[in-house]
Amino acid sequence: MRSYLYAIAAASVLIAAAPAAEFELAYIGSADSASLRGLKLGIEESNHQGAFLDVTLTLTELTGKAVPDGALAVFVDRPGSIADIAAGAGGRAVFNLSDDSDALRSACLANALHIIPSAKMRADAVAQWQVGNPGSKASAAAWHSKAVKFAARDLNRRYLDRYGSPMDALAWAGWFAARAVGDTLMREPASDAAALLGALKQADGLDGQKGDPHSFRASGQLRQPLVLVGAAGELLGEAPVRGAQGGLDGLGSSPCQ
């Protein structure tokens, strides 16, 4: 018992002596985007968690495409610019929050991580839904403000309380990207941007509050369930639809070119 108490005391000393870790992140996009609001919420929540580990995330908002040398990762809400920003990011993880281009995924950019679902993912989700609901007017999205399962209700409430508006797919993409970085750094603080990018690519249990664990394909696209939305904006269901082949990879999976 005494040796156990000594071990606890020694561990406490080591934790107390550990230097604070502060990680700079960068955002490129509109200052009034829902993706930025979601990103800020995700960073706030990560920092609540990090307070116990002496780990802090900071965010620099940029107007141009140049990424600060000290930034560990960059979040982008600027459709049409992902490839250029990724090419100039020096190997840092570049989170695509809003560009749904299928061609961008097929290019398999080494440091681009696509949080927003591709156009093909959404089309596949709708096709699965219509097998059992022929003639249904439906669309697919990453998120719905009325989702309640898998702690989605709590996330929707936190966002609504914070900003006074419902969480949409862009806001969710920003929130998830921040939490993915935060959770990864809390588990194992990265020594550099390459280490963080590698850890994110290898992660297989990222939590998007949507049930199935999320992970990244070789294309950089995030594997994730989607929601089906009716013509009036109502929540219809989820994809992959029960009985559909391929699981999460039945939504938009395509080879690199």
User: How do strand 235-239 and strand 71-77 relate by DSSP bridges?
Assistant: unpaired
Q: What is the DSSP letter of 77?
A: E
| Domain boundaries of the chain, sorted by first residue | 2-250
pLDDT, position 225: 97
pLDDT in tens, 8-46: 344 444 344 445 789 999 999 999 999 999 999 999 999
231 confidence band (pLDDT: 50, 70, 90): very high
Nearest to 113 by CA among 85, 93, 84, 141: 93
Nearest to 55 by CA among 234, 255, 227, 196: 196
The CATH code of domain 2-250 reads 3.40.50.2300
Rounded distance between C-alpha atoms, residue 96 and residue 77, angstroms = 7
| Amino acid code (one letter) for 160 | L
pLDDT in tens, 38-87: 999 999 999 999 998 888 999 999 988 788 889 999 999 999 999 999 99
* Beta carbons of 140 and 235 less than 8 angstroms apart: no
* pTM value surpassing 0.75: yes
Nearest to 61 by CA among 87, 32, 102: 32
